[in-house]
Amino acid sequence: MIKTTTLTLVFIAVLAAAGEGPALASAQTTTIRVIPAPADVAAPPADAKKTASGLASKMITAGTGKTHPVAADLVTVHYTGWTTDGKMFDSSVSRGKPSTFPLDKVIAGWTEGVQLMVAGETRRFWIPEALAYKGQQGRPKGTLVFDVELISFTESPTQAPADVKSPPSDARHTASGLSYKVLTAGVGGRHPKSSSAVTVHYSGWTTDGKLFDSSVVRGMPITFPLDGVIPGWTEGVQLMVEGEKTRFWIPEALAYKGQPGQPKGMLVFDIELIKFN
């Protein structure tokens, strides 16, 4: 049975607004659905597996993926956390929205444990305090129990693509000097216009491989009028269809044109066009 109560949520894996990592310190009081603790919340059962670090886990639902995330990957998960006395302290399930975050920016038990999973899997973890919050003030104490569903994972954009320095031989080029390569095909044949409002996920690097902006790291796509951004975006996104992911090499003349405080030189963007109108 699910009941409703008021409690303080400790957001385990929500990215800070500035993209500086998880806002593990933030808490807020809100009314949410409380998900009852599992019967084995007090201690790992006999069939749980244990790692050398002391992390215990048990698969609840098998996944469909074949590969495992690595520590630097961005993972998208649903999760619920309880203390061993059965009190729920956080749940993306109750909030109704999965969380996306870099796996190496959360508590150590999560970083280790989620790497054991494949996409589609749900696993229960018993995380000892040494791999959780280590007695930090204002954090849940003792062993923590999490049910985690790994929805998906992708390579972190902090790792620049191998061809970031220059367009590869199979890239296409427009008359303006824009270069691009389709990474994932989209659906349909409609293209946005310069006047369209587009919703995208994107990551941008300088050609020396430094990530300077990423909606992916922030965990939230962005919507904007296509004629209100740099010319390379306005031109390039019009080449795309919904669901497509494309890499663009945008020369400085189509980017920030040497403006103070903006990234200099050619810029490289991976853009996923989610939708437009």
Check 101, 125, 133, 248 and give the catalytic one. Answer: 133
Q: How far apart are the first and last CA of the chain?
A: 41
Check 12, 73, 90, 153 and give the catalytic one. Answer: 90
Q: Is 107 designated active site?
A: yes
Q: Where are the beta strands (DSSP E) in 106-143?
A: 122-127
Check 12, 73, 101, 146 and give the catalytic one. Answer: 146
Q: Is 89 designated active site?
A: yes
Q: Is 101 designated active site?
A: no
Residues 92 and 59: their CA atoms lie apart, in Å, by 19
Q: Which residue blocks in 181-273 are alpha helix, DSSP H?
A: 215-218, 231-237
Q: Which residues 6+ apart lie within 8 Å of 155 measured at CB?
A: 72, 73, 74
Check 12, 73, 79, 202 and give the catalytic one. Answer: 79
Nearest C-alpha neighbor of 275 from the set 230, 235, 233, 222: 222
Residues 40 and 191: their CA atoms lie apart, in Å, by 52
User: Which residue in the block uniquely carries the two structure tokens 């951004």?
Assistant: 229
Q: Is 212 designated active site?
A: no
Check 11, 35, 40, 89 and give the catalytic one. Answer: 89
Taking a C-beta distance cutoff of 8 angstroms, is the pair 221, 274 a contact? yes
Check 12, 107, 250, 271 and give the catalytic one. Answer: 107
- Which of the residues are catalytic? 79, 89-90, 107, 133, 146
